[in-house]
Amino acid sequence: MMELDEGDLGAEATAPVWAVFGDLMAGLLGAFVLVLVGVLVVQMDLVSHLQEEVGKRRVEEQRRMALEQALAVPLASGRVTLNGGRIGISGSVLFPLNSDQLRPEGRQLLQSLVQPLRVYLGERNEMLMVSGFTDDKPIQEGNRRFADNLELSAQRALTVTRALIEEGMPSAQVFAAAFGPEQPVASNGSEQGRSLNRRVEMAPVPRTAAPAAVNSGRP
């Protein structure tokens, strides 16, 4: 029988240990590389997303400045406001209380908005959404023209939309929307707050955002 010396036995004992250690290190190195790649991918995604957000904000800021420039004269009069790309007109400037009959001065104001808005919308291939809003006080009894505030806000929005078209706004560029007492900008607990909530807003929107069902100011 062949006898193994102590050196041969030591070599046989340590060889599997080094093989297992090598496999373990290779596995750890592979896992580290995968984690590193994953971190780099996440960082690249975050940088790309941040660049997109910065680009969007830059575009929105340029859009806001362009709209302010287009409406410089009406804004200077104080009868028109611009907040977040939404053009606001007090309901008292346009209509008597609980009425959809346009005041003469209201029509003159709308007339002054048509040309700058036509240019602005045409350059961007956008549409104008005309939205009507009211306070939360119920329609006075005896007023049979409107069932509720939603109907009043709808008729006011349509009146403004039709007036804009009559003053030269292409009908394909404007549509009406109604919100009634929803989306108040002030508390309805005071007359001052209610007067602020009785308003008409106009906002340029992409053509894809315009509902086809209300895309009309025609009678």
Q: What is the pLDDT of residues 88-119, one digit of tens each?
A: 999 899 999 889 999 999 999 999 999 999 99
Nearest 5°: the CA angle 83, 89, 94 is 175
- Only one residue has tokens 């362009």, namely 66
Distance between CA atoms of residues 173 and 126, nearest Å: 7
**Is residue 28 scored above 90 in pLDDT?**
no
Interatomic CA distance for residues 117 and 97, integer angstroms:
27
Rounded to 10 degrees, the C-alpha dihedral 59/63/64/65 comes to 100
**Is-contact 136 184, C-beta < 8 A?**
yes
- What does the pLDDT look like over 47-100, one tens digit per residue? 777 777 766 667 667 777 878 887 888 888 888 999 888 999 998 999 998 899
Please give the residue that has the higher pLDDT: either 165 or 6.
Answer: 165
